[in-house]
Amino acid sequence: MQALILRKKDWAKTIGFEKGEVPDPVIKGDDDVIIKVHYAGVCGTDKGIWYRQVFEKQILDSVKAEGKPYRIIGHEFFGEVKKVGSKVKNVKPGDFVSCESHVVCSRCFQCLHGEKHVCTQEKILGISQDGGFAEYVVVPQHIVWKTDTSKIRLEVAAMQEPFGNAVHAVSKVDVRGKTVAIFGLGPIGMFLTIVVKGLGAKSIIGVEPNPIAQEMAKKLGIDYVIPLKKFKSDKPYAHNAAVTDEIKKITGGLGVDVSFEMAGFNSSVNNCLYATRRGGEIILFGIKQGDFVLEDYNRLIVHGFTFHAVIGRELWKTWETTRALMENISNGVQEKLFNIILNRGNGTILPISEYTKERFENMMEKHPKFLIQF
């Protein structure tokens, strides 16, 4: 089968993914499910792997442990069940499904106490286990999610996993009637804009450097967009006063009720500290490795902020909410996802037969979100 792979030997020497022929997956365990992939979504994590910026240790250590020379990339996908193991009960051949990208162990303390999203033994599709940038993928049945294609179109169904990140993030706070700032309007920030607006936020402010993303956010109904411009500072972790002052101006000097940090930069976290009102809430979603500096620790305490750290999706609570939002035609979620974020498929669908490194890279730069079609 055809797949987009990253060879272990290429990590330090190249960028991008190689399109290659690899063996079809096979049923090895009684609870295995083989899925024929129809669409796979490309996200910021894939971009980071493309440029060799993230998950080096996880990828290289896992392929070494498996005795393989490559990893099949990709953790967002949608397809049709083709074959199942003898103990699989929740899906059957012909069912249309998406998957949770975190392959949880179901045995650790967290899994046994309803916290599977922070499983201590998890593997991640496309990183520590072969993923969905391939014609076929094999996964355990406990991460498979059935989808009604009479209610959710296939291209939108392929975005259930990342959309769930936004749903999980907003579940930590009540945004009804509140002012909200979203720092980082990448794909998850875009999804978050849709969810927050749908839940009745009073006003939404987005902070984003990419002009393409800025314009897309306006089409999604965001109230204010503040272009993030580079500024010189001897403290790269410092907040951007031009941005936070503008947010204070918009909110009448108060600051926003809720800040969502979606980019993962140290300066962006500190922007939240200076943009959020006293007693407000800050949701941390963006991921970066290494140490962070919190500007003015005294401010953090005296202003009485509440912090929420969010990772992945709560199984299966987040998926159930995502399904309800997508299946409800009246809320316009599907329409916005397909018509605006995917531009009705114009330029945002890449058939695997037409894959080249140059085209893939160009699409990553042009489109906040695009799909690979298998």
Q: What is the CATH number of the domain that holds 10?
A: 3.90.180.10
- pLDDT on residue 234: 87
Sequence-distant (6+) residues with CB within 8 A of 166 are 188, 189, 191, 192, 194, 195
Statement to judge: residues 56 and 92 lie in one domain: yes
Sequence-distant (6+) residues with CB within 8 A of 363 are 42, 347, 348, 350, 370
Half-sphere exposure of 57 (CA within 13 A, CB side): 1
Query: What's the pLDDT band for 77 if we cut at 50, 70, 90?
Result: very high
Instruction: Output the DSSP codes for 286-316.
Output: ----S----S-HHHHHHTT-EEEE--S--TT
Statement to judge: residues 8 and 152 lie in one domain: yes
Q: What is the domain count for the chain?
A: 2
Handedness of CA 326, 328, 341, 207 (dihedral sign): negative
Distance CA 86, CA 312 (A): 30
Statement to judge: residues 151 and 23 lie in one domain: yes
Query: What's the pLDDT band for 228 if we cut at 50, 70, 90?
Result: very high
Q: Is the pLDDT of residue 304 over 80?
A: yes
List alpha helices for the chain, DSSP H.
Answer: 44-50, 56-66, 109-112, 154-157, 160-170, 187-198, 211-219, 241-250, 266-275, 297-302, 317-327, 333-335, 357-366
| CA nearest to 367, candidates 261, 216, 219, 229 | 216
Distance CA 159, CA 16 (A): 22
pLDDT in tens, 92-139: 999 999 999 999 999 999 999 999 999 999 999 999 999 999 999 999
- pLDDT on residue 233: 81
Query: What's the pLDDT band for 232 if we cut at 50, 70, 90?
Result: confident
Q: What percent of the chain has pLDDT over 90?
A: 97
Statement to judge: residues 73 and 179 lie in one domain: no
- pLDDT on residue 255: 98
Statement to judge: residues 261 and 128 lie in one domain: no
Query: What's the pLDDT band for 16 if we cut at 50, 70, 90?
Result: very high
- pLDDT on residue 310: 97
Statement to judge: residues 286 and 179 lie in one domain: yes
pLDDT in tens, 255-274: 999 999 999 999 999 999 99
Statement to judge: residues 56 and 145 lie in one domain: yes
Statement to judge: residues 185 and 197 lie in one domain: yes
- pLDDT on residue 288: 87
- pLDDT on residue 265: 95
Distance CA 174, CA 140 (A): 35
Q: Quote the domain boundaries for residue 159.
A: 2-163+313-373
Statement to judge: residues 139 and 266 lie in one domain: no
Instruction: Output the DSSP codes for 171-185.
Output: TTS--TT-EEEEE--
Domain stop point among 309, 330, 362: 309
- pLDDT on residue 111: 97
Statement to judge: residues 359 and 294 lie in one domain: no
State the average pLDDT over residues 294-315.
96
Q: Is the pLDDT of residue 225 over 80?
A: yes
Distance CA 47, CA 339 (A): 23
Domain stop point among 293, 309, 325: 309
Q: What percent of the chain has pLDDT over 70?
A: 100
Determine what percent of the chain falls in helix, strand and coil, rounding each to the nearest 5. 35, 25, 40
Domain stop point among 273, 289, 309: 309
Distance between start and end Cα atoms, the chain: 10
